[in-house]
Structure 1
Amino acid sequence: MFLKFRYRLGYESLCREVSDSITWRRFCRIPLDGSVPHPTTLMKLTTRCGAAAVDGLNEALLAKATEAKVLRTTKLRADTTVVPSNVSYPTDSGLLAKAIRRIAVTGKRIQAAGGATRTRVRDRSRAAGRRAHAIGFKLRSRSAAGRDEALAAVRRTTGELADLAETAATDAERLLANAKHALRRARAKATALKGTGAHDGAAGRRRGRLARAIDDLEDLVTATRQITAQTRQRLAGQTPDGATRRVSLHDPDARPIAKGRLGKPVEFGHKA
């Protein structure tokens, strides 16, 4: 049964291989002139013994092999590699600016689908873009004398971006509350129409678009809050925990992974 598990064989293939192999016969304690059990015999024995007995035999075999120093179970070596995600190099300012733009776009999707149409939503994308461009301009400064001043300006502008992102997330939460209320009203109306036998295909598709936009905005607000929190932490002089750090808006599971490569000291993706 160990050979069957190890080499992923069926019962008939297992019996045929054991019959043809001297090494496998010795492993199974079957003499050269002895007969190999029939496949149906192995099936019946396995069913009769059950999984608990097989597991117990395997544990006993492992303990005996360890005691005889055939196996060394005190050390384990694992090799990992990085599966990169389709994300651009993440910076705090870049992620904040993207989050603000996507909040504005998703809010317009919600209102276009008929949700919270009277809720005022301010588009802060231009203000975020100006601050992101200002950060890039400051970082490209080659003046050594003004380097400290440029870094201070970058930190100040990043803080302003974090303030904008928090305000945009707060506005988005208010929009979400009103949009969910509108979605509940639309679903109640659809239920009433269904009771009368009326058909509302276009309205149903519109409700579907509204529901999807609401889900997208909820995920986006959660990501924005997380990115803002880790930006505040970095501005305070602390390094965010890499195991929970958010590096992408569309891929929440991507993480920064340092493998020590010369060309790419830090990669972003998943460890495999």
Structure 2
Amino acid sequence: MFRTVGDQPSLFESVLPQELLRLPAELERVDGLLDDPAFFAPFVPYFDPRIGRPSTPMETYLRLMFLKFRYRLGYESLCREVSDSFTWRRFCRIPLDGSVPHPTTLMKLTTRCGAAAVVGLNEALLAKATEAKVLRTTTLRADTTVVPSNVSYPTDSGLLAKAIRRIAVTGKRIQAAGGATRTTVRDRSRAAGKRAHSIGFKLRSRSAAGRDEALAAVRRTTGELADLAETAATDAERLLTNAKHALRRARAKATARKAQGEHDGAAGRRRGRLARAIDDLEDLVTATRQITAQTRQRLAGQTPDGATRRVSLHDPDARPIAKGRLGKPVEFGHKTQ
């Protein structure tokens, strides 16, 4: 259960003189800064708000981590020093009659939240410093270049035709390896190739009227290719289901034969080929669904988001990058600094 603040100070602390309650100047400034609830937000995703054992209060954890890195202490040294120091106890919001968190508790909290929480804390700190005008932020201009991927110029029709062809080839690999041999797999490569080639033929028209008709025909043909790709992906999913059943049966049979002291190397190699083909087809179906969705989006008059757009079947991380060059206004690859 997520806790942001700890227990109230004990009654004994209320009768102590103010000289003992006063923090050093540095710790007092840090204490006031860490009172902002924005510093608790990065830890919220890692805890349930209502269920479970109460966590270490985040206000205590943050202050303990500040002392750890400020004075370069280990977890055990930190807990020992905080236990022996009245000032550090006050700073960490630990009552005099309360117990300091165990070193392993702090280690587990740090491992659980990880680097993402640190990034969130840094962003909250920068936002607070900018708001208080302690820090002036400016725009940084970085010189970047494009590392091109080994891909041909990606078009919606070309990607769809390649996806349909590769689904057919990978399906044959699965059946050749002994998976889903009785499942009917229709090869739609020829139909997809005809439609993809017809697009190039229609775009050769030079007249204005003919070009308008050609563009309408291209949109219609691209929609037909998207339909073919969706059908091929659906057939591939059915093939995958049956192939996985066959792979499980083959592995169970191999386990039983191994228990009897028998070993069949050829069958093991077939299982390996089948497992690799299944993995390839799963990735291919996911890519086909994504390409089909972005094609539908283009046909509806919308531009897909370049940060997530798929431009290659074999390089899922390649992206369209517009650098403004005259010869290559848009390049396809990876951006580096």
Q: TM-score range by the shorter chain?
A: 0.7 to 0.9
* In structure 2, C-alpha distance between the alignment counterparts of 1:68 and 1:3, rounded to whole Å: 24
Q: Give SS of 2:333's match.
A: strand
Post-superposition offset of 1:76? 2.4
TM-score by length of 1: 0.74
* In structure 2, C-alpha distance between the alignment counterparts of 1:15 and 1:4, rounded to whole Å: 9
Distance 1:38 1:171, change over 3 A: closer
Q: Give SS of 2:331's match.
A: strand
1:151 aligns with 2:215: yes
Distance 1:18 1:233, change over 3 A: closer
Aligned to 2:170: 106
1:23-79 CA distance string (max 9 Å, x none): 999999999999999999999999999999999999999999999999986442311
Post-superposition offset of 1:11? 26
TM-score by length of 2: 0.60
Distance 1:220 1:192, change over 3 A: same
Residue of 70, 73, 82 corresponding to 1:18: 82
Larger RCO of the pair (alpha carbons < 8 Å, separation 6+) = 1
Distance 1:218 1:143, change over 3 A: same
1:204-261 CA distance string (max 9 Å, x none): 0000000000000000000000000000000000001100000000000000000000
Distance 1:63 1:87, change over 3 A: closer
1:167-209 CA distance string (max 9 Å, x none): 0000000000000000000000010011111111000000000
Distance 1:63 1:19, change over 3 A: farther
Post-superposition offset of 1:109? 0.1
1:151-179 CA distance string (max 9 Å, x none): 00000000000000000000000000000
Q: Give SS of 1:116's match.
A: coil
Higher alpha-carbon deviation: 2-11 or 61-70: 2-11
Higher alpha-carbon deviation: 113-122 or 60-69: 60-69
* In structure 1, C-alpha distance between the alignment counterparts of 2:127 and 2:263, rounded to whole Å: 69
Distance 1:211 1:45, change over 3 A: closer
* In structure 2, C-alpha distance between the alignment counterparts of 1:48 and 1:237, rounded to whole Å: 45
1:113-156 CA distance string (max 9 Å, x none): 00000000000000001100111100111222211111000000
* In structure 2, C-alpha distance between the alignment counterparts of 1:32 and 1:40, rounded to whole Å: 21
* In structure 1, C-alpha distance between the alignment counterparts of 2:80 and 2:130, rounded to whole Å: 30
State the identity %.
96
1:73-113 CA distance string (max 9 Å, x none): 64423111111000000000000000000000000000000
* In structure 2, C-alpha distance between the alignment counterparts of 1:53 and 1:152, rounded to whole Å: 51
Unmatched 5+ residue regions in structure 2?
Answer: 1-64
* In structure 1, C-alpha distance between the alignment counterparts of 2:191 and 2:273, rounded to whole Å: 28
Distance 1:156 1:199, change over 3 A: same
Unmatched 5+ residue regions in structure 1?
Answer: none
Higher alpha-carbon deviation: 44-53 or 108-117: 44-53
Q: Give SS of 1:82's match.
A: strand
Aligned to 1:232: 296
4+ aligned runs moved over 2 Å, structure 1: 1-77
Q: How many equivalent pairs are there?
A: 272
* In structure 1, C-alpha distance between the alignment counterparts of 2:260 and 2:98, rounded to whole Å: 79
Report the RMSD for the aligned CA atoms in angstroms: 8.6
Distance 1:140 1:198, change over 3 A: same
